[in-house]
Amino acid sequence: MISFGRKRGNRRRSEPARRWQLPALPWRRIGLVTGAALLVVAAAGLLVLLLDQPIERVTVAGSFQRITAPEVEKAVRAELRGAGLVSVDLARVSRALRRLPWVDTATVQRSWPRGLKVQVTEQVAVARWNAADLVNARGECFISGARFVPPELPQLSGPDGTEAEVVQRYLAAQGRVVEAGMRLVAMRLDARGAWELTLDNGVQVRLGRQRFEERFERFASVALRLIAQRAPDIDYVDMRYTNGFAVGWRTGATRLAGRTAAEDGRPDG
């Protein structure tokens, strides 16, 4: 039998192959912008190469007593490592300078066309710390085991980590003592937390572990006047009483000053 039915394969019509096309973008404008950007980058790189000249001079400024300008310049040149004026790492050079003994702050700037300008501030030692260390007014120990310790500096001491506290209290106390015509030559904080001062006339001041500010204020307001009058006869003053204080005379005798001190009879720590 002859079949006149349609073949199933004929239902699919052949479709033309699609060709890939670029998205409809302003390619010409994009090309111009990209080209311009590359030109800017290339010009900047060329400019850096032209400006990155060898560093020929180092100018050092500052007031020096413990260090010298040649020492500073030597430390700067050791950090250059062949870098030019543009490529030099100024922050790294500054950090290296601050590691030098007696250098507190250091700033480094470019000085065109082929130089660096360095500004250095020296450390100022306000006291000796423990054996042979030196501390500044911030309580920072900047030299350990110093070979030369200025003899006029006061002697401060205390447990590790108490430098800032001791220096702060020393500076505050020194001003009050100087007003009375004397100076503090030593301040000590022991491991128990007790404070002791030494005046330039040799008188010891015992403040103990408690109420430092209150006791020192009483010392500065009352006891200092007695010390100013009788310093050669006084060995120590003990402020560890409620409202008064005790005076230890060089003869070995002890006298309580103040009504409450006499009533208490002994220090309270």
Q: What is the pLDDT of residues 159-208, one digit of tens each?
A: 999 999 999 999 999 999 999 999 999 999 999 999 999 999 999 999 99
6-12: average pLDDT: 49
Q: What does the angle CA 239 – CA 241 – CA 243 come to, to the nearest 5 degrees?
A: 95
Fold of 57-122: Ubiquitin-like (UB roll) (3.10.20)
- Asked whether residue 32 carries a pLDDT value surpassing 80, the answer given is no
Count of CA atoms in the C-beta half-sphere (13 A) of 13: 2
Tell me: pLDDT of 13 over 90. no
> What's the mean pLDDT when you consider all of the chain?
84
Q: What is the arithmetic mean of pLDDT over 77-95?
A: 91
Average pLDDT in the 72-90 region?
Answer: 91
May I ask the CATH class of domain 127-264? alpha beta
Q: Which of 68, 125, 51, 60 is nearest to 93 (CA)?
A: 60
Domain with CATH 3.10.20.310 in the chain: 57-122
Amino acid 181: pLDDT: 93
Helix (H, G, I), strand (E, B) or coil at 239: coil
More confident residue, 264 or 124: 124
Mode of pairing for the β-strands spanning 204-208 and 184-189 = unpaired
pTM of the model: 0.74
pLDDT for res 81: 85
Q: Tell me what pLDDT residue 4 has.
A: 45
Longest CA pairwise span in the chain (Å): 151
> Range(s) for CATH 3.40.50.11690 in the chain?
127-264
Q: Where is pLDDT greater, at 179 or 132?
A: 179
Q: Residue 170: which of 142, 139, 191 has the closest Cα?
A: 139
The mean per-residue pLDDT over the stretch 44-49 comes to 49
Q: Which one is predicted more confidently, 207 or 53?
A: 207
Structure tokens given for 139:
């309580």
What are 155-169's pLDDT values in tens digits? 999 999 999 999 999
**pLDDT higher than 80, residue 255:** no
pLDDT value, residue 109:
95
Is the pLDDT score of 262 beyond 50? no
> Residue 168: which residues within 8 A CB-CB, separation 6 or more?
139
Closest CA to 136 of 156, 115, 106, 109: 156
Percent of the chain with pLDDT over 70: 76
* Band of pLDDT at residue 1, cut at 50, 70 and 90: very low
Task: Provide the pLDDT for residue 30.
Answer: 62
Split at pLDDT 50, 70, 90, the class of 83 is confident
CB 248, CB 236: distance < 8 Å? yes
